[in-house]
Every structure is written in C-alpha cells, then in structure tokens.
Amino acid sequence: MIRARLALLVSLPVALGAQTGGFSFDDAQRFLRANCQACHQGTSPAGGFALRDIATADTMRTRPERWNKLALRVRHGEMPPKAAAAPPAAERERFLEWADSALRAAVCSAGATPGRTPVRRLNRDEYAATVRDLLDLQTDLTSFLPADGAGGEGFDNAGETLFLTPLLAEKYLDAAKFALDAAFKEFKPRARILVARPGDGVTAEQAAHAILSAFLPRAFRGPVHEADIAEYMSLFRSAQKQGLEFESAVQYTLRAVLVSPRFLFLAERMDEYALASRLSYFLWGSMPDELLFDIASMGKLHDPQVVRALVPRMLRREQSLDFVKRFVDQWLRTRQLETDKAPDAKLFPAWTTDAEIQSDIRLQPALFFHEILKRDLSLLDLIDSSQTVLTRKLAKHFGEPLQVTGADQQPRWLDLPKGSTRGGLLGMPAVLAVGSYPYRTSPVLRGAWILEAMLGTPPPPPPADVPALEKQASADAPKTVREMLTQHRANPACASCHSRIDPLGFALENYDFIGRWRDQDNGKAIDNRGELPDGTIVEGPQSLKNALLERKDQFVRNLTSRMLGYALGRGLTAQDSCAVDQIVSGLKENDYRAQKLIELIISSAPFQYQAPQGAKK
C-alpha cells in the first residue's frame, strides 16, 4: 500500500551518474589504490577492510555502507593515517565530491524511500511548550528539566540522543505536579480542565469520566478508547479510596497522564494523527491545535493542496517563532553565545549590562529567517538581502548610518540603504561573534563556520603534529594574524585546508569580534582580501556573498538537509539524500521560495511515511 502511494508520489531524481566533474569510478579506484592499497589488501587487510570488496561500480549499490564509511573516514582526515603520506588536497576533494554524488545516484536509483524514525520522547522545549498549550498555562517549565544534547543533523530533537534517565523521570513527576497545581489555581486552565463537577445529579464518577474523556485525547494527541479512559478512571478511584477529595483526585490522575509515555513520546506509527503531531512539532514545537486534529480526522494531511494552505497559516502563528529560533540557533550555532562564545565582558560590557542589546543580537538571525518564511521570500536572502531586521539599538551598534523609524525598541523589517553590507546572515553580529573568539576576530573560525554552517562542508580537524600559529617565535616572526596565517599556509599540510578556510574569513575582517564595522585594527588598515583555491578573489563582505551565491546549490542543499533532519527528529541516512535531491530541485523550480522548502519537506516521503518494520536503515 505504502509502496503504491510512493510510486505515485516520487519521481526519479535527476540521474547524477557515476561521473561528476570529470572524475570517474576508475579515477576513484586509482585514488584508492594509490593511497589505501598498501594496507587494505591481502588475507588480513587493515581493519578487515579490503579494496577488492569495493572494486566494481556495482558495489556502490550493493555495499553502500562500506562506501559511506570509507568516504567519512577520508573526509574526517582519519584515513590515510597520520604515519602514511597524505594525498594532495585537491585530489582528496575531488574524490570526496565524486563519492558523495556517485553514492547518492546509486542509492536513489530506486527513488526516495522513507526511513525509520524510531519512537522518541519530547525534548525539553517541546515538553514545556506542550504542557503550556495543553493546560493553557503561562508558566514556563523549561527550567525544570535538564537540557538535551543533540544528535543526527545537529539538533536537540534528534531521537537518537533523547535519553530517558532516572533524574529525568523524577523531574517529570515534579514538573507535572507543579504544572497541575498552577493550572488548578488559575481561572482559565481550571475551567478548561474541569468540564464537569459532581452535584446536581452528577456523580463524582461521572464528572471524572467526562473530564478524562475531554483531556486524554488532547494529551495523547489522538483518539483514545473507552478502555484507556477506564484505566485512568480506576486510578481516580484508587485516589479517592486513599482519601483524596474530588479535585485532588482529578489532579492526581492527570498527573499520571502527564507522566505517561503516551504523552511523553511521539509515536513511530505514522497514522494521520501521528502525522499531525509531526507537523506541529516541526513548525510549532508543540502539540497540534484543534484545526490540525480536525484535518487529521478527515485524513487530509497527505493532500499537497491542504499542506500548501496550512503552511502559511502555521507560520503566522506565534509559536512558529519558537521553531525558527531553535532551528536557527542550532544550525548557526548561535546558541553558543550563551556559553563559550559569550563576548568578553571587559571588551563589550553592554552584553552583560544591557539586556536589550544582548537579546537584539541573539534574536536577529531568527527574526530575519522568520520574516523570510512568513513573507515567502527567497532562501538566497539568507546569503544576501536588501532588507533586514533591526532595532534602534542594533542599528546604533552597527556603527553605520542606518535609520530605524519609531521611538521604541521593537524589531523592524526594513530596507537597507544601497551599498550596505548588512544584508543576509553574514552581516549579523550574532553570526560574526560565533565565528570569533570572545575577545578578537578569527578568520580561521569564521571561514570554518561558513564552510560548516552555510555550505555543509566542515573542514577536518587540524592534524595533531602541525605547529600552531605562534610557534615560530623568532626575530622576523610575522606580526599580524594575516601574516601568521600566510606563513601557516606555506606548510603544505596546513595549506590543504587553510587555503579553503582563511580567504572566506579574511573577507569579513571589517567586522570586529562582535560585528561592529571597522576600517582599522590596532592602527593598521584592514586588509579584507583573499583568494579562494579556484582563483576567485574575494575582497570584503559583498564579494564574499557574491561568491557564496555562485554556490547557491550547495547552500540550499545544506539548508535542506539540516531542516529535513530537524523536521524528522533524526539523522539523515543515504536514502534520505534522495528526498533532499528532490526538494532541492523543487526549490530551484520555485525561485528558492522559503515556504516551498517547508511544503516540500512536509510532502516528502520520509516525512509522510515510515518504512515498514524490519526495513533496513
């Protein structure tokens, strides 16, 4: 059944072929023979891995896991090992680029298939938002629970890293009690829960039943059977037997509901209601509202027309900003501004003394992305735009003549003056700070940040035996960061990556460690020029953005992967990359419109379906 529907839904991806950029399967074999064969051959190959096992093009389809592992180890600089000679960087790059696309082509020959999304618990933010919406409560429960780590595509909603521990179990019990105590004391939440009371011919038993019949389907995010209600009724009765009054007994019973796995976990079976939950946890980070429940009950959530109408409506709701904040904060790593990357208090006191400027800086990228989504603008605006989100204080912080109308401190969406360098994410202090040390800029960190966050190609970690920048202390030692980096790149082991990293960062040197514009650093004029490995000269922010726009496909593909991973709450597999391909080509046909990205993700096979039990990952 699923297969049949998929066949209709999924068209074959554009064939990428086993040859990309002039690099063929045979070239790959030559690369492997030259760099790996010495160890990976014979009767006991190193690591039990022999090149002969992957000697034919067919093995890309039959043994993709081998190929994936190989590519990953080369990418992370683990192979060839330190002791062996490293392949020339350009060749390594070409091999990796080829491996990526050839593997994708091999895996996608059968079309996009859904993967398996295992059952997962709500993460801390989702839990707090769900309790808030379920109980109509304004109290924020976030601080009750420990923060969650991240897995998969780098987000804290990835099922693989949402563990359940004794401490968390205790906290769930405490938080449920706290939330219900608060809810029973407030008028609105109380009225919403207590839909019936004993008296006037209504027994306590009947009233409790009515309350649970209304509460359980909302808490469990789908229809419940009479038998389920009966189970909780018996808990209610036990409570009364223990001497609890009606309201206390109801409160106690609801506390169990909030600790039940049916509340705490998102189902893995993809029925209509589960799809409604997936949708609302994607775009709101909370439970579905009544409209979504209704659409689910009509079985309309698979309908692309319905999805198209739903997306703008869901994005208009205030909760969608929670989604954008969480996504952007983790995608861009700006969440680190709360910890390691907090600007130095001595050099930038306003960060600690002025809560407004801190929050303006922190929120700007998310507010910007949110506007792009709501206004359905181009995703390429993230690279460069003629408009941005600003507050009065932020404009002043920039040290540029930007006019923000109005006297208040509200963020505004406004046109940037011609020639402004503040368009796109790269003009934002939050982004510029996360690519700096807390006390000075770093072209290396900014360059690596661009490669990772914007292009999805993080450089491997530096090899351990390479001297760091300041090691060469001598009389003629270079003085500036640029001079040091130039010397660094003279070493071929460093040059292979730093020739890719550094020029990107140099182009942003006009921004200080917290994103303020500067023409000089320590009395020296800023040199914002660099040369990319392909010979492109980048000079200053605008030309960097132009260079990134040249790579828009790579940027859009990376953004799509990250957002699909977020939407699914798990890491992507080789199979998912076929869905990513389809979404990317769909975006291309639609001028990279932002809402299209959301629509296409929701309509994608991995989002809509679940592979049958036992299907391989």
Partner 1 sequence: VSTRRTGISRRTLLRGAGVGLGLPWLEAIAQSPAQRNPVRMAMLYMPNGVNTAHWYPKGEGRDFELSTTLEPLAEFKNQILVLSNLWNAGAKGGDGHYCKESAILTCATIKKTPGVDIGNATSLDQAAAQRVGDRTPLPSIELGVAPVAVGVDLAVGYTRVYGSHISWANASTPLPRELNPRVAYQRLYRAGAGQSSDTAKLDTLLLDRVLGDAKRLRGEIGAEDGKRLDEYLSVMRSLEQRVQRSASGERRNWKARVALLPENAPTEQPASHEEHCQLMLDLIATAFQSDTTRIATFMFGNAVSNVSFRFLEGVTMGHHDTSHHGKAEDKLRQYQIINRWHVEQYARLLRKLGSMKEGDSTVLDNSMILFGSALSDGDSHSPHKLPIVVGGGGGGRVDTGQHRRYTEDTPLANLYVSLLDAFGTPVERFADSTGPLAGVLRG
Comparing C-alpha atoms, which of 178, 192, 56, 184 is closest to residue 133? Answer: 192
Can you tell me whether residue 529 is helix, strand or coil?
strand
d(CA 398, CA 402): 8
Question: CA 123 → CA 127, 264, 302, 477, distances in Å?
Answer: 6, 9, 26, 51
Residue 235 binds partner 1, judged by CB under 8 A? yes
| Residues forming beta bridges with residue 593, ordered by sequence position | 378
In this chain, which of 42, 199, 399, 458 binds partner 1, going by CB under 8 A? 458
Q: Check: CB of residue 582 under 8 Å from CB of residue 10.
A: yes
Hey, which residues between 264 and 303 contact partner 1 (CB under 8 A)? Answer: 264-265, 268-269
The rounded radius of gyration (Å) of the Cα atoms in the chain is: 27
Q: Check: CB of residue 368 under 8 Å from CB of residue 388.
A: yes
Residue 349 binds partner 1, judged by CB under 8 A? no
Q: Which stretch binds partner 1 (CB under 8 A): 293-301, 342-350, 361-369, 412-420?
A: 342-350
By beta-carbon proximity to partner 1, the closer residue of 309 and 347 is: 347
Smallest separation, CB 318 to partner 1 (Å) = 24
By beta-carbon proximity to partner 1, the closer residue of 109 and 242 is: 242
For residue 605, give the H/E element and its range: helix 605-608
Q: Which stretch binds partner 1 (CB under 8 A): 273-281, 331-339, 363-371, 526-534?
A: 331-339
Smallest separation, CB 239 to partner 1 (Å) = 7
Smallest separation, CB 406 to partner 1 (Å) = 34
Q: What share of the chain is helix, strand, coil (3-state, %, to 5)?
A: 55, 5, 40
**Separate counts of helices (H) and strands (E) for the chain:** 28, 8
Residue 330 binds partner 1, judged by CB under 8 A? yes
d(CA 219, CA 212): 10
Hey, which residues between 168 and 207 contact partner 1 (CB under 8 A)? Answer: 168-170, 173
**Count of residues interacting with partner 1 (CB under 8 A):** 84
Residue with token string 């018996």: 234
In this chain, which of 62, 109, 206, 238 binds partner 1, going by CB under 8 A? 238
Contacts of 526 by beta carbon, 8 Å cutoff, 6+ apart? 509, 510, 518, 519, 520
By beta-carbon proximity to partner 1, the closer residue of 416 and 574 is: 574
Residue with token string 């050099």: 347
Q: Which stretch binds partner 1 (CB under 8 A): 105-113, 128-136, 465-473, 541-549?
A: 465-473
By beta-carbon proximity to partner 1, the closer residue of 26 and 205 is: 205
HEC assignment per residue over 538-601: EEHHHHHHHHHHHCHHHHHHHHHHHHHHHHHCCCCCCCHHHHHHHHHHHHHHCCCEHHHHHHHH
Smallest separation, CB 28 to partner 1 (Å) = 21
Residue 460 binds partner 1, judged by CB under 8 A? yes
Hey, which residues between 555 and 584 contact partner 1 (CB under 8 A)? Answer: 570-571
Hey, which residues between 116 and 175 contact partner 1 (CB under 8 A)? Answer: 116, 118-121, 143, 146-156, 158-170, 173
d(CA 480, CA 65): 45
Residue 459 binds partner 1, judged by CB under 8 A? yes
Lookup: tokens for 218:
């909302």
d(CA 380, CA 549): 7
AA letter at 126: E
Smallest separation, CB 461 to partner 1 (Å) = 5
d(CA 428, CA 412): 15
Hey, which residues between 46 and 75 contact partner 1 (CB under 8 A)? Answer: 72
d(CA 398, CA 401): 8
CA angle 338, 339, 344 (to 5 degrees): 90
d(CA 433, CA 443): 12
In this chain, which of 39, 259, 350, 574 binds partner 1, going by CB under 8 A? 259
In this chain, which of 467, 491, 527, 536 binds partner 1, going by CB under 8 A? 467
Q: Which stretch binds partner 1 (CB under 8 A): 16-24, 254-262, 292-300, 414-422?
A: 254-262
By beta-carbon proximity to partner 1, the closer residue of 34 and 147 is: 147
Smallest separation, CB 30 to partner 1 (Å) = 26
d(CA 183, CA 575): 45
Smallest separation, CB 606 to partner 1 (Å) = 15
Hey, which residues between 376 and 435 contact partner 1 (CB under 8 A)? Answer: none
Hey, which residues between 489 and 528 contact partner 1 (CB under 8 A)? Answer: none
By beta-carbon proximity to partner 1, the closer residue of 417 and 460 is: 460
In this chain, which of 29, 68, 336, 542 binds partner 1, going by CB under 8 A? 336
Q: Check: CB of residue 279 under 8 Å from CB of residue 292.
A: yes
Q: Check: CB of residue 307 under 8 Å from CB of residue 602.
A: yes
Q: Which stretch binds partner 1 (CB under 8 A): 236-244, 383-391, 420-428, 528-536?
A: 236-244
Pairing state between β 520-521 and 524-525:
antiparallel
Q: Check: CB of residue 292 under 8 Å from CB of residue 300.
A: no
Q: Which stretch binds partner 1 (CB under 8 A): 105-113, 127-135, 341-349, 582-590?
A: 341-349
Smallest separation, CB 349 to partner 1 (Å) = 13
In this chain, which of 231, 272, 400, 531 binds partner 1, going by CB under 8 A? 231
Smallest separation, CB 262 to partner 1 (Å) = 5
Q: Which stretch binds partner 1 (CB under 8 A): 252-260, 361-369, 390-398, 580-588?
A: 252-260
By beta-carbon proximity to partner 1, the closer residue of 198 and 459 is: 459
Can you tell me whether residue 420 is helix, strand or coil?
coil
In this chain, which of 200, 226, 318, 340 binds partner 1, going by CB under 8 A? 340
Lookup: tokens for 180:
């219900």
By beta-carbon proximity to partner 1, the closer residue of 310 and 430 is: 430
What is the DSSP-derived secondary structure letter of residue 458? P
Smallest separation, CB 312 to partner 1 (Å) = 30
Torsion of CA 265, 266, 272, 278, to 10 degrees: 150
